[in-house]
Amino acid sequence: MARQAKHEELRLALLTDIAGAAPHAPLPTERDISARFGVSRNTVRQAMDALEAAGNVYRVQGAGTFVSPAVVSKSLTLTSFSEDMRERGLEPGTRLLAAETVRAGRRIGERLATTPDMEVVRVSRLRLADGSPMCLETVHLPARRVPGLLEADLTGSLYTLLSERYQLDIRSAQQIVRSVDLGDTESALLGVPPGSAGLRVERVGLDHRETPVEATTTIYRADLYDIRFTVRRTQP
């Protein structure tokens, strides 16, 4: 039987260490790992590259390598961010970045089935799980349907607020998912290196009359989030 490559043996050894470590715990330096296991720095880099590609660790330039939290798998069920996090035993949090009334513009107007001149409330938030950044969320809502929203507490579940205060229940949504490279500002807010991979989800939420209620763009950290769904073959 062929012997495993040294970097693969090291990857498996490090994976055992990582399994017992807390999320975001720092890993030893490449030099320390090299000395501990008696392998070259190049072997260490190969093993670390494989761990990073698999989502087991993440690197922060100038700071080191850290243990990745468990990846959150988002199903196709329509749930809020807060519901997703609590279902997985994580405490949801929010950092409000901006909240204002603006003109819809052509693109948002099309998504909300309204005119470009229509006023909309735009809410931008950084969403957290156990204090760690998970995604950037920008929500647009028709201003006429949410009077006084800017004076409300926008750090909790927006879906709950819309339902309880405005009787706006989002029953279904149309979504488009794309892969993106994160820019400098997005990377800084999400705590990842510039150019890191992200998932951009554009959603239009519909009420019981199939009327657009929200147009939301969310950018998720691709190292912490994936989207899973079931497909079935149509019987001939």
pLDDT tens by residue, 99-149:
999 999 999 999 999 999 999 999 999 999 888 888 999 999 999 999 999
In this predicted structure, what is the pLDDT of residue 37? 93
CA dihedral sign, ordered 227, 228, 230, 233 = positive
In this predicted structure, what is the pLDDT of residue 2? 46
State how far the Cα of 137 lies from the Cα of 121, in Å rounded to an integer.
14
What CATH number corresponds to the domain at position 54? 1.10.10.10
Strand partners, 205: 173, 214
Domain span holding position 62: 6-67
In this predicted structure, what is the pLDDT of residue 3? 59
In this predicted structure, what is the pLDDT of residue 54? 73
In this predicted structure, what is the pLDDT of residue 1? 40
State how far the Cα of 125 lies from the Cα of 217, in Å rounded to an integer.
11
CA triple 126-132-136, angle to 5 deg:
20
CA distances from 202 to 117, 171, 172, 205 (A): 21, 16, 14, 10
Chain centroid to CA 96: 16
Strand, helix or coil at 5? Answer: coil
Which of 67, 92, 114 marks a domain boundary? Answer: 67
**Whether 52 and 165 share a structural domain:** no
**Whether 79 and 47 share a structural domain:** no
Amino acid sitting at position 1: M
Residue owning tokens 């329509």: 78
What CATH number corresponds to the domain at position 123? 3.40.1410.10
State how far the Cα of 109 lies from the Cα of 81, in Å rounded to an integer.
24
Strand, helix or coil at 135? Answer: strand
In this predicted structure, what is the pLDDT of residue 211? 92
In this predicted structure, what is the pLDDT of residue 229? 61
Q: Which residues, in sequence order, are CB contacts of 77 under 8 Å at separation 6+?
A: none
In this predicted structure, what is the pLDDT of residue 85? 74
Residue 90 lies in a domain: yes
Number of separate domains in the chain:
2
Token pair of 64 as six digits: 């080191």
**Whether 52 and 85 share a structural domain:** no
Instruction: Annotate 156-221 with DSSP letters as a single string.
Output: S-HHHHHHHHH-----EEEEEEEEEE--HHHHHHHTS-TT-EEEEEEEEEE-TTS-EEEEEEEEEE
190-128-197-170 Cα dihedral, nearest 10 degrees: -130
Residue 1 lies in a domain: no
**Whether 133 and 19 share a structural domain:** no
For the chain, residues with pLDDT lower than 70 are: 1-4, 70-79, 88, 228-232, 234-236
Strands (E), 44-118: 57-60, 64-67, 72-74, 92-103
Nearest to 14 by CA among 32, 2, 1: 32
